[in-house]
Structure 1
């Protein structure tokens, strides 16, 4: 608990104004200038935990063992800038995310106007948080096993996934082996996918500016296709 309280001050962005464009984006033609307003990436991971048998049930999700669902933010230098640990393994990413951005005491590094984070399909797609196109190929293994990205949306999803995977590589550098939900992404219509949509619908007042990020995403997609 003490370490978690310390993390609020220790694990934070070097510059909360995010004025500088990350070197990874600025110097890579795959991302520049398309993602020039992207600042960092958000993802979650499940970490095995040891807990009393009488308290295990909420921690046992589809991994089959007790885990914590940890939300983290990572910059493109593979440095964590926000971490929120302690959530039960059954807690959905959307619920954790919405709590993180609303609780002032957590000091979540909100992006400045015109900037945004990259998030995966498990998070709400809303203003300042750009997710991939749903119901399209997204994860890099899907492209490796199949044909090259085709069409505006797949081209965007491939670039989005390639850039966002920085946080997955950062998780991989930690001593424990995290359980990455991306490996077994639930298809639309599954129970957990419905839970995410239901929870998101309860937050419409906070996701009312979704069209802003949709327009930005479409613009990037068209630019990538014709770039």
Structure 2
């Protein structure tokens, strides 16, 4: 490895990788050769024998990627949403912290999308209103038919609409046996998931009563 790096004028493996995966910036002259571009593209698109799916686990599970007890700050940075990534030196905690932020941003986007009004789906009751002053066009005023909701139908709707959020809330609420998710007879987790996702929707959009909030309120006082 050292001989290869020296032959091509690189001081370290990191420097070589930074050049290998350097993206072309718009307006900047691309100094990469055609072969360079093709090789990287083929690898990143998974069109070769060894793909990124093989490399990432090797890096994450490598002994040298783990921070030892002598570096408690590095160990604590794993999955951290706040520690600056540049301050995380070890590969495993860095990858965990980086993935945490990617997932966090995606959750924000997905819940925001769910909270928006969906006029194309008749099953969606997210933007119901108790009354309308007539100034808002196309306001959906709650009717008794809307109160006849079903937790099972909401669970199926959420699961179909956003499997990513459904999976995450399942991780929070579901029990497992031998690594497999199980549904308990008492307090089945899909009900908890429906309540949680509905609360997220209500929190993100003041006009969204959620699929449960307003309906449950009317049902309790009916």
Higher relative contact order (CA 8 A, sep 6+): 1
Query: Which bin holds the TM-score, normalised by the shorter protein?
Result: under 0.3
Instruction: Return the index of the structure with the highest Cα Rg.
Output: 2
The structure with more helix, counted as a fraction of residues? 2
TM-score normalised according to structure 1 size: 0.23
The structure with more strand, counted as a fraction of residues? 1
